[in-house]
Structure 1
Amino acid sequence: MESLMIRPGYLTAHQTARVLGISLDGVRQLVRRGRLRPSGGTPRQPWYAVADVSALAAERAKVKVA
């Protein structure tokens, strides 16, 4: 369930997965590998900064094109 009280400029784990085109487990793997870090929320419902997710999405798109 997505949080209804998320601050502007942040995404839930579900929204992050949707933007990146990956599963929730994929988001967890990115966090474990240090490629993405939670910027708020709770340990069970973390938030991710839009800027961080956008940068990661751009990086992943660049890798796909190359």
Structure 2
Amino acid sequence: MESQMIRPGHLTAHQTATVLGITLDGVRQLVRRGHLTRSGGTPRQPWYALADVQALDTKRRTRDAA
């Protein structure tokens, strides 16, 4: 279940996974490895800054294209 009170400019874990084209476990691994930082929410329903997710997506696409 996704949070209904998410701040503007933030994404839920499910939305983040969709944007990055990965699973929820993949999002957790990115956080664990320090590539993505939670910016709010709760431990069970974290939020991620949209700008951070977009920057990570761009970085991953650039790396994959090289």
TM more than 0.5 = yes
Deviations 1:10-53 (A, max 9, x none): 00000000000000000000000000010000111000000100
Instruction: Tell me which residue corresponds to 1:38.
Output: 38
Instruction: Tell me which residue corresponds to 1:57.
Output: 57
Give the superposed CA RMSD: 0.5
Paired with 1:21 and 1:9, the residues of 2 have a C-alpha distance of 19
TM-score calculated relative to the size of structure 2? 0.98
TM-score calculated relative to the size of structure 1? 0.98
Paired with 2:61 and 2:4, the residues of 1 have a C-alpha distance of 29
Number of residue-to-residue matches in the alignment: 66
The alpha carbon displacement at 1:4 in A equals 1.0
Structure 2, unpaired ranges of 5+: none
The alpha carbon displacement at 1:64 in A equals 1.2
Moved over 4 A (4+): none
Structure 1, unpaired ranges of 5+: none
Task: Provide the secondary structure at the position in 1 that maps to 2:38.
Answer: coil
Identity of aligned residues (%): 74
Paired with 1:22 and 1:2, the residues of 2 have a C-alpha distance of 17
The alpha carbon displacement at 1:55 in A equals 0.3
Paired with 1:31 and 1:64, the residues of 2 have a C-alpha distance of 20
